[in-house]
């Protein structure tokens, strides 16, 4: 099995494969079992008319199709005669809906979404609209609207868009409590698989708190066997009361189709992102702990007198951070957040992220052989100095990279350990000089040609002139690497 999760947005052509049903067993091999005394035949017409239809009627009007595109209006080089022929008769590759316009280049993506507010807010997956600049929403009743992107949150793979001038008739879906879900509960997945139109599938909750999926920074997924396929991204996972308990986001698959292993982002995290959008913010701010935690191995658990690995171990603390001010110490074992047990760093990160940026939270901590409670003040990571983002445009190993001054806020957003002062690589364009030079997001620039780099102004000054030789030292994960590049 391919161990990588498959995002569910559609882009490009999709092939459908039909499997043959197995032949029935020969008649002489089939045997009718004796009736079990614990089972009874239906006694009334209603007993054989049970259906999920009432739930679908409540929930389906809230689920929408999301058509996203990125149209590049820049003029293209003159195309060959064959290119012109192909475009005239077959259209632009990957354009999907709508005719091609001369000079346009477009990428398109198809996914699903859920109306969560009667003002027109729709929640979907970030990977559905990633790098897109135009969005259209198609309702279950076939009305279509343009939409604007309100918020993108790559760390959760969630995004919020707003329908323009929706008028009346929107049906928001109420939130359910994903914390009360149990393995074995019935759920339904509603979305637009393979672009065939709104589709409902039914299954059960197969597992909870899955953390090794890898499609976002906050991994705490609901696993279901309800059929989920490409195009279901951003669609609803619904309980039997027609409430939203998750947003479908990924599958394990060898073929790209459903194998009964799908994953949904819990409604608790979805609701936090929606509330941020309702408040008018364009980015999600999360609480800052200022401590690095690590998994508990069987050997560590045994050394601490535990019967099994559980909790997260405090590996390091930042000075003047909420963790240090709360009295946490290196070597403490955090077992719970506000009474909810945590078994690994992913579960801890999810629980802590949901606490918001005001008030306080309590950690259950094992210190030595004794248990204690530690109260941590909640607040966002501070921006201790301006980022002064620098996009390098001169010919150097940094061409195509964006660099920023470090701070706790930058380190928190990038999910890497960074010092309070320095310059870090924020992004690297694919195929750029910086990418070919091997620069990566989170790299800390230590020195260039022997000159120490403490700010983006230092880096801009050093890279202002084109040189024949560049000696660059970076800190990557605590290891200093030095490379030499030709001009």
Convert the pLDDT of each residue in 159-215 to its tens digit. Answer: 999 999 988 889 999 999 998 999 999 999 999 888 888 889 999 999 888 776 665
Q: Which of 109, 206, 233, 258 is catalytic?
A: 233
5 has a pLDDT exceeding 70: no
pLDDT value, residue 313:
95
The reply, when asked if residue 70 is annotated as ligand binding, is: no
Question: What pLDDT, on the 0 to 100 scale, is given for residue 13?
Answer: 35
Contact 318, 324 (CB under 8 A): yes
Question: Out of 62, 109, 112, 127, which one is annotated catalytic?
Answer: 127
pLDDT at 395: 86
191 is in an annotated binding site: no
Most confident among 259-263, 280-284, 371-375, 419-423 (mean pLDDT): 371-375
Q: What is the pLDDT of residue 75?
A: 53
What is the pLDDT at residue 59? Answer: 94
Distance CA(268)–CA(179), nearest Å, equals 8
Superfamily in which the 390-486 domain is placed by CATH? PDZ domain (2.30.42.10)
Residues 6+ positions from 336 with CB-CB distance below 8 Å: 311, 342, 363, 364
**What pLDDT was estimated at residue 410?**
86
In the set 153, 157, 225, 239, the catalytic residue is 157
Active site residue 141: no
* pLDDT tens-place string over residues 330-379: 999 999 999 999 998 989 999 999 998 999 999 999 998 889 999 999 99
Which of the residue ranges 92-106, 326-340, 458-472 has the most confident prediction, judged by mean pLDDT?
Answer: 326-340
Residue 157 marked in a binding site: yes
pLDDT of residue 304: 86
**Strand (E) positions, 154-216?**
158-163, 186-191, 199-210
Is there a contact between 264 and 237 (Cβ–Cβ < 8 Å)?
yes
The model carries a pTM of 0.74
291-377 with 390-486: one CATH topology?
A: yes
The confidence score (pLDDT) of residue 393 equals 84
Residue 17 clears pLDDT 60, i.e. is over it: no
- What pLDDT, on a 0 to 100 scale, did the predictor assign at position 3? 46
**Beta bridge pairs of residue 293:** 314
CATH topology of domain 291-377: Pdz3 Domain (2.30.42)
Model confidence band, residue 315 (pLDDT cutoffs 50, 70, 90) = very high
**Sequential DSSP letters for 396-442:** STTTTEEEEE--HHHHHHHTS---SSSEEEEEE-TTSHHHHTT--TT
Task: Quote the mean pLDDT of the chain.
Answer: 82
Q: Which of 53-57, 214-218, 226-230 has the highest mean pLDDT?
A: 53-57
- pLDDT tens-place string over residues 110-162: 889 999 999 999 999 999 998 888 899 999 998 999 999 999 998 889 999 99
Residue 305: the pLDDT is 85
* pLDDT given at position 468: 81
In this structure, are residues 282 and 268 in contact, taking their beta carbons and an 8 Å threshold? no
Mean pLDDT for the stretch of residues 54-59: 93
Name the burial class of residue 328, with classes exposed (0-12), middle (13-18) and buried (19+) by CB atoms within 10 angstroms of its CB.
buried
On whether the CB atoms of residues 276 and 354 are closer than 8 A, the answer is: no
Confidence at residue 95, expressed as pLDDT on a 0 to 100 scale: 40
Active site residue 258: no
pLDDT of residue 357: 92
- What's domain 178-278's architecture? Beta Barrel (2.40)
pLDDT confidence band for 35 (50 / 70 / 90)? very low
**Ranges of each domain in the chain:** 178-278, 291-377, 390-486
To the nearest whole percent, how much of the chain has pLDDT over 70? 80
The pLDDT value given to residue 340: 92
Catalytic status, residue 157: yes
Predicted pLDDT at 464: 86
Spatial CB neighbours of 388, under 8 Å, sequence gap ≥ 6: 404, 405, 455, 456, 457
**Is pLDDT larger for residue 21 or for residue 275?**
275
Range with top average pLDDT, 145-154, 220-229, 302-311, 467-476: 145-154
Between 451 and 32, the more confident residue is: 451
Average pLDDT over residues 278-285: 88
What number is the average pLDDT over the span 465-483?
87
Q: Which residues lie closer than 8 Å to 461 by C-beta, 6 or more apart?
A: none
């Amino acid at each position: 099995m391919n161990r990588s999760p498959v995002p569910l947005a559609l882009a490009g052509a999709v092939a459908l494969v039909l499997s043959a049903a197995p032949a029935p067993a020969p008649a002489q091999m089939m045997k009718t079992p004796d009736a079990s005394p614990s089972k009874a035949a239906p006694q009334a017409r209603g007993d054989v008319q049970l259906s999920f239809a009432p739930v679908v009627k409540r929930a389906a009007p809230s689920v929408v199709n999301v058509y996203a595109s990125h149209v590049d209006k820049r003029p293209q080089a003159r195309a060959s005669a064959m290119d012109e022929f192909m475009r005239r008769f077959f259209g632009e590759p990957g354009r999907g809906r709508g005719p091609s316009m001369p000079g346009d280049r477009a990428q398109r993506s198809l996914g699903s979404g859920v109306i969560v507010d009667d003002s027109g807010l729709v929640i979907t997956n970030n990977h559905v609209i990633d790098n897109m600049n135009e969005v259209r929403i198609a309702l279950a009743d076939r009305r279509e609207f343009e939409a604007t992107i309100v918020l993108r949150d790559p760390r959760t793979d969630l995004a919020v868009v707003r329908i323009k001038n929706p008028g009346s008739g929107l049906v928001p879906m109420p939130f359910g409590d994903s914390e009360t879900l149990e393995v074995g509960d019935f759920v339904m997945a509603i979305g637009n698989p393979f672009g065939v139109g709104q589709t409902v599938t039914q299954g059960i909750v197969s597992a909870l708190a899955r953390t090794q999926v890898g499609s976002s920074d906050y991994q705490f997924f609901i696993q279901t066997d309800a059929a989920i396929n490409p195009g279901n991204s951003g669609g609803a996972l619904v309980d039997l009361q027609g409430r939203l308990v998750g947003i479908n986001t990924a599958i394990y698959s060898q073929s790209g189709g459903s194998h009964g292993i799908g994953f949904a982002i819990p409604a608790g995290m979805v609701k936090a992102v929606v509330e941020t959008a309702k408040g008018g913010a364009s980015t999600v701010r999360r609480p800052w702990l200022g401590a690095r935690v690590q998994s508990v191995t069987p050997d560590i658990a045994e050394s601490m007198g535990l019967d099994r690995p559980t909790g997260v171990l405090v590996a390091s603390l930042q000075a003047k951070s909420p963790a240090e001010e709360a009295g946490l110490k290196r070597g403490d074992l955090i077992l719970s957040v506000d009474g909810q047990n945590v078994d690994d760093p992913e579960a801890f990160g999810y629980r802590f992220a949901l606490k918001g940026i005001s008030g306080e939270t309590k950690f259950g901590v094992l210190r030595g052989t004794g248990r204690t409670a530690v109260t941590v003040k909640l607040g966002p990571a501070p921006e201790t100095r301006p980022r002064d983002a620098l996009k390098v445009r001169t010919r150097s190993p940094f061409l195509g990279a964006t660099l920023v001054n470090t701070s706790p806020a930058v380190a928190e957003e990038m999910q890497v350990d960074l010092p309070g002062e320095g310059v870090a690589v924020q992004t690297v364009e694919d195929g750029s000089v910086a990418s070919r030079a091997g620069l990566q997001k989170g790299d800390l620039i230590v020195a260039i040609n022997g000159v120490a780099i403490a700010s983006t102004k230092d880096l801009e000054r050093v890279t202002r002139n084109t040189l024949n030789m560049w000696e660059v030292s970076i800190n990557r994960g605590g290891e200093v690497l030095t490379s030499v590049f030709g001009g």
